[in-house]
Amino acid sequence: MKYPCILLLLLQQVKADDLRYDSCVYWMVSEGFGLPQFSERRVMNDVTLYHHDSSLDSKMPCPDWLNTTAGKEYWKIFYHWTEYNRDVSTLGLQLATEQFNQTGSLTDRNIYQGFGCCSLYPNGTYRTLLAHAFNGKDFISFDFHTKTFVAAVPQAVLYKSLRDKDLANIEDIVALYKTPCLERLKILKDAPRVKTRKAPEVRIIEKKNTGSVTVTCHVTGFYPREVQVFWLGSDLQPVDEGVTEILPNGDGTYQTRKSVIVPEEDVGKQNYSCVVLHISIPNNITTVWAGEKAGGVAVWGSVCVCILLAAAVGFGVWWCRRKTRDAVI
């Protein structure tokens, strides 16, 4: 009973202000693709706040909503790290091209990308990630515990050794991912659209197979991205059908789907429930599929959730957030 009680408390405590905040930066240096030689984008919970590329005469000015002294100072920090990211990525592209023997190739088209995020959770947990890729594959990452770069492939060893030698820069990176990042998260969370909430729409789709029926729970139109979707059987035990993939919609919202395969002999005999949890709704949305019987949709209150979770002992892992991909610079 330990996990269900904890889960119920978490569910009751999830309010609009409890959203996990992610501050991320994506940058790229390219050659031979007809793209800007360098581009960078900074986002807060998937909302782009800052963008710059080498085709622009100047960097993006500080927006009107960021009108505090601290906010304006952090915007200037963006300018500094934009130049820094351009320099280190240009070096990375040069060395990776040489190490992979891409210099002078017929195509002569290469891309060097960087990605970094820091995430702040409601309970105060703070996580970071910083990694680089060459032509779409892992190249190097940064270990914040050992304060060293980690080569993902042998061709990245030279770049790693050069970066590790610059101890002052290493300390700058580590420092940037601590207090400044946390302060920046608190400032940028007031940006337009960052606090937007859109509730999910849930629909059940059936597909008859030979000897079974595939029942899909399609969830769409929700924002922000974080969502939990899982199936429960008639005994209220979880039916694990794999990892849920979350995809973007054209309007800035997200969609996902999760399926369960029901044997033909069980159709009409057992009910299956798709449970959806999202920060935009106070409890959850539960859609019941009963096969040949009429299905129904219900929004369960906390009492029903308690019963449901109590029956699902050991399923505490569903509340764990998706694997953090995050970092900042």
Is the predicted pLDDT of residue 107 greater than 80, yes or no? no
CA of residue 38 relative to chain centroid, distance: 24
Q: Give the integer Cα–Cα distance in Å for 184 and 135.
A: 31
pLDDT at 5: 37
pLDDT score, position 243: 64
Q: Which residues pair with 120 in a beta bridge?
A: 21, 126
pLDDT band at 295 (very low <50, low <70, confident <90, very high): very low
Strand pairing class (110-120; 254-263)? unpaired
Spatial separation of the C-alpha atoms in residues 105 and 234, rounded to whole Å: 60
Q: How far is 265 from 156, CA to CA, in rounded Å?
A: 55
Whole-angstrom Cα distance, residue 280 to residue 222?
A: 8
Q: Strand, helix or coil at 245?
A: coil
Q: How far apart (Å, rounded) are the C-alpha atoms in residues 79 and 74? A: 9
The residue written with tokens 């019941």 in the block is 288
pLDDT for the residue numbered 316: 35
Q: Which long-range contacts (CB under 8 A, 24 or more apart) does 263-270 make?
A: 263/211, 263/212, 264/211, 264/212, 264/213, 266/291, 267/213, 267/291, 267/292, 268/292, 268/293, 270/233, 270/234
What is the 8-class DSSP label of residue 133? E
Q: Please give the domain boundaries of the chain with CATH numbers for all domains.
A: 20-188 (3.30.500.10), 201-319 (2.60.40.10)
Average pLDDT over residues 75-97: 93
pLDDT top residue among 295 and 235: 235
Tell me: pLDDT of 307 over 60.
Answer: no
Q: What percent of the chain has pLDDT over 90?
A: 42
pLDDT at position 242 is 64
Q: What is the pLDDT of residue 299?
A: 40
Question: What is the mean predicted confidence (pLDDT) over 76-88?
Answer: 92
Measuring CA to CA, which residue among 77, 15, 3 is closest to residue 310? 3
- Residue 100, phi then psi, degrees to nearest 5: -95, 10
> Per 3-state DSSP, what percentage of the chain is helix, strand, and coil (rounded to 5)?
30, 35, 35
Helices (H) and strands (E) in the chain, counts: 6, 16
pTM: 0.65
Query: What's the pLDDT at 157?
Result: 97
Q: Give tens-digit pLDDT for 148-175.
A: 999 999 999 999 999 999 999 999 999 8
Looking at every residue in the chain, the average pLDDT score rounds to 79
In three-state secondary structure terms, 271 is: coil
- Residue 231: the pLDDT is 92
Predicted pLDDT at 319: 35
- The predicted structure's pLDDT at residue 234: 79
**pLDDT of amino acid 126:** 84
pLDDT category of residue 283 using cuts at 50, 70 and 90: confident
Closest to 214 in 3D by CA, of 231, 201, 228: 231
183/64 Cα distance (integer angstroms) = 19
pLDDT tens figures, 182-199: 777 777 777 777 767 889
Determine the Cα–Cα distance for residues 278 and 228; give it in Å rounded to an integer.
Answer: 7
Q: What is the pLDDT of residue 329?
A: 41
User: In 3-state terms, what secondary structure has residue 265?
Assistant: helix
What average pLDDT does range 90-117 have in this prediction? 85
Q: What is the helix (H) or strand (E) element at residue 82, kind and residue range?
A: helix 69-99
**Which whole-number Å values give the CA distances from 296 to 9, 13, 219, 271, 304, in the listed order?**
27, 27, 16, 11, 16
* Mean pLDDT along residues 267-278: 88
Residue 314 has pLDDT above 60, yes or no: no
Residue 313 has pLDDT above 70, yes or no: no
Angle at the Cα of 58 from the Cα atoms of 56 and 60, rounded to 5 degrees: 95
Q: What is the pLDDT of residue 130?
A: 95
Q: Is the pLDDT of residue 294 over 80?
A: no
d(CA 113, CA 152): 14
Query: For residue range 7-53, what is the model confidence (pLDDT) as tens digits?
Result: 343 344 333 334 577 888 999 999 888 889 999 999 887 788 899 99
Is the pLDDT score of 256 beyond 90?
Answer: yes
Could you give the 3-state DSSP secondary structure of residue 129? strand
Q: What is the pLDDT of residue 241?
A: 66
